[in-house]
Structure 1
Amino acid sequence: MQGHATTHRTIGLADAMLLLVAIIWGSSYAVAKQALWFYPVLGFLAIRFGLTFVLLLPQLRGDGRRAVRPGVPLGLVMLGIFLCETWGVMLTTASNAAFLISLCVVFTPFVEWMMLRQRPSGLLFAASVLSVVGVWLLTGGVGMTLNLGDGLMLAAALLRAVLVCLTRRLTASEQVPPLALTAVQSGVVASGCLLLGVSLPGGLPALPTSPVFWSAALYLVGFATLFALYVQNRALGRTSATRVSLLMGSEPLFGALIAGLWLGERLGLQGWLGGLLILAATFCALRSAARPTSSQPGHAASAPA
């Protein structure tokens, strides 16, 4: 009886920590948008992922070296994701960004269909219809204006779905430590952004001195990346992948709420309805993904790494 109570408390703590991570990831869009007021996208990403790489460098010892081979191509895909996502955040509202990036959960089964020949269920087709209607409402409905920022967020969501499937394919044959894999991917993203930044006319400006920028960068590294990965990995050992997915699926809602409170962004009734339809589509996709096998990963990398 005592053991059951202890297990129940452990699961409750894991759930609470996952909700905290969902709040942190939801806030990351507003934080990144604020950081971009002080420094360009390529420089911001080079700093963010360069710091992450340095902090995770010790993970590449021993078994962590296995992460190098899959980590490089996965890092290149991740580079594309964060270029689209960060420019997208800069060019659209943080609330739109939070809802649109969550579509990667709906896109993933269709990417699996193309890459792995696994046909999605009927529920997933219904989810895709819900998501299309949600995007239509979120971006203006009848007077729909899908701006460049919204388009880049949709591209980032699609690339995240590709990253999930490619990660499964490249890491299926061997146990790759997740923090070591994140280290390699972060190094590739930081290097790619730095090379792109210095090759452009004018290069990168001097490092920003604003404490707001550095607070934002450290918050994203420390909380949205390292702390979030630690909690997610610990929770997966204590509860089901589906439960983790459902709890983490609340991230876009927190993103929209925080954008409203922090940045003063306002979604009208139509925008909220579109966002909630996207959330409903996400949960339908997660529920469908949980049906074939309880070991199938549910929610992978739908939020900033």
Structure 2
Amino acid sequence: MMEADSKIRHFFMNTLALPQPKSLLLLSDLALLLVAVVWGTSYGVAKGALVFYPVLGFLAVRFILTLVLLLPALWRTSALQRRDAWRTGLPLGGLMLGIFLCETLGVAHTQASNAALLISLCVVFTPLVEWWLLGRRPAQAMWVFAGLSLLGAALLSGGLVGTLGLGDALMLAAAVLRAITVCQTAKLTRHSRAPALALTAVQAAVIGFGSLLLALCLPGGLPPLPQASAFWQASLYLVLGCTIFAFFAQNWALQHSSPSRVALLTSSEPAFGALFAVFWLGESLSLSGWLGGGLIVLAALWTTLRRA
């Protein structure tokens, strides 16, 4: 009887136990794939919103709204957690401000499909940045992947036959900054006690008020807020899906995975972004553009199979 009771207790303890590491890894992988879908559509949605408002004003609206929604999560934390959130979130928020400035300005000056494909170069850049920042030497094959990706970027942007466009160059800069941010997030959050939502709130504050300050420093400042419902619908989608959910999921996943795995699992983002831009926005790519985009996605998938 005692043995039976012991087996029953063991069964319920296992059933009600917290997820084991493998379960957490699977959950983080699924969350990151959903992030890839949401982020893939964000370029087309942002491009539509920029028709109504300038880049800096749009970023200020997007991220100050995000901060307002996340303030309760920040204030519910303990003093130690809040201190860690600010200590970690300030430098990461500065990096994210640079990313979103490059990305949003890039989207304004190139096709949404180009933006979605070029930003995926961070998949190949991340292992190289890991080597630079964290001392983890990449496999020799990574240089092949990097070469294929850069060839694809050149074909996509017309760089082989002309000059690299401003928008495409900004997206390349954003890809490098993304790779740096992934590694720095993993490094700075490893021993941080800040909850993911609180950290996201601090990052949103840095991006939102940083964009507003930059806008106010420019001659003429900002125009009045737009009244178009399309602008506010796009902003709400980006706030709830592409910022709150995506930032939270990435910050949480980085506590249960490696930077390369996080970057690699979001490598499907360019495919979703290009398809959304072509079928929803009616954009078109030339034959060399499709070939270049295919090389970028192929390098990302190849890297995924090799490193994941």
For normalisation by structure 1, the TM-score amounts to 0.83
1:140-289 matched pairs, under 5 angstroms: 140=158, 142-229=160-247, 248-289=266-307
Structure 1 equivalent of residue 39 of structure 2: 25
Q: What is the Cα deviation at residue 281 of structure 1? A: 1.6
Q: Structure 1 CA distance, aligned partners of 2:189 and 2:32?
A: 25
Aligned amino acid, residue 87 of structure 1: L
Q: Structure 1 CA distance, aligned partners of 2:256 and 2:95?
A: 30
Q: What is the Cα deviation at residue 177 of structure 1? A: 1.9
**Structure 2 residue 56 is matched with structure 1 residue 42:** yes
Are the counterparts in 1 of residues 182 and 259 from structure 2 also a CA contact under 8 Å? no
Structure 1 equivalent of residue 73 of structure 2: 59
Q: Which moved more, 1:138-147 or 1:10-19?
A: 10-19
For normalisation by structure 2, the TM-score amounts to 0.82
Q: What is the Cα deviation at residue 146 of structure 1? A: 1.2
1:4-153 matched pairs, under 5 angstroms: 19-60=33-74, 61-62=77-78, 63-140=81-158, 142-153=160-171
Give the share of equivalent positions with the same residue, in percent. 58
Count of residues in Structure 1 that have an aligned counterpart in Structure 2? 285
Q: Structure 1 CA distance, aligned partners of 2:138 and 2:105?
A: 31
Q: What is the Cα deviation at residue 270 of structure 1? A: 1.7
Question: Aligned with 1:143: secondary structure?
Answer: coil
Kindly provide the CA deviation profile for residues 131-162 of structure 1, in whole angstroms up to 9, marking residues without a partner as x.
11111211126414310000000001111111
Kindly provide the CA deviation profile for residues 65-122 of structure 1, in whole angstroms up to 9, marking residues without a partner as x.
4211011111111111111110000001100000111111211122222223322111
Q: What is the Cα deviation at residue 261 of structure 1? A: 1.6
Q: Which runs of 5+ in 2 are unaligned?
A: 1-14
Kindly provide the CA deviation profile for residues 33-73 of structure 1, in whole angstroms up to 9, marking residues without a partner as x.
01000000000000001011111112222234421101111
Q: Which runs of 5+ in 1 are unaligned?
A: 291-305
Are the counterparts in 1 of residues 145 and 303 from structure 2 also a CA contact under 8 Å? yes
Question: Closer, same or farther in 2 for the Cα pair 1:120/1:235, shift >3 Å?
Answer: closer
Aligned amino acid, residue 40 of structure 2: G
Q: What is the Cα deviation at residue 197 of structure 1? A: 0.7
Q: What is the Cα deviation at residue 244 of structure 1? A: 6.8
Question: Closer, same or farther in 2 for the Cα pair 1:24/1:137, shift >3 Å?
Answer: same
Q: Which moved more, 1:190-199 or 1:274-283?
A: 274-283
Are the counterparts in 2 of residues 124 and 284 from structure 1 also a CA contact under 8 Å? no
Q: What is the Cα deviation at residue 12 of structure 1? A: 9.7
Q: Structure 2 CA distance, aligned partners of 1:246 and 1:169?
A: 18
Q: Structure 2 CA distance, aligned partners of 1:214 and 1:227?
A: 18
Aligned amino acid, residue 98 of structure 1: A
Question: Closer, same or farther in 2 for the Cα pair 1:137/1:121, shift >3 Å?
Answer: same
Task: Specify the structure having the higher radius of gyration (Cα).
Answer: 2
Q: Structure 2 CA distance, aligned partners of 1:188 and 1:40?
A: 19
Aligned amino acid, residue 131 of structure 1: S
- Cα RMSD over matched residues? 3.0
Are the counterparts in 1 of residues 127 and 138 from structure 2 also a CA contact under 8 Å? yes
Question: Aligned with 1:263: secondary structure?
Answer: coil
Aligned amino acid, residue 96 of structure 1: N
Q: Structure 1 CA distance, aligned partners of 2:236 and 2:140?
A: 43
Q: Which moved more, 1:53-62 or 1:185-194?
A: 53-62
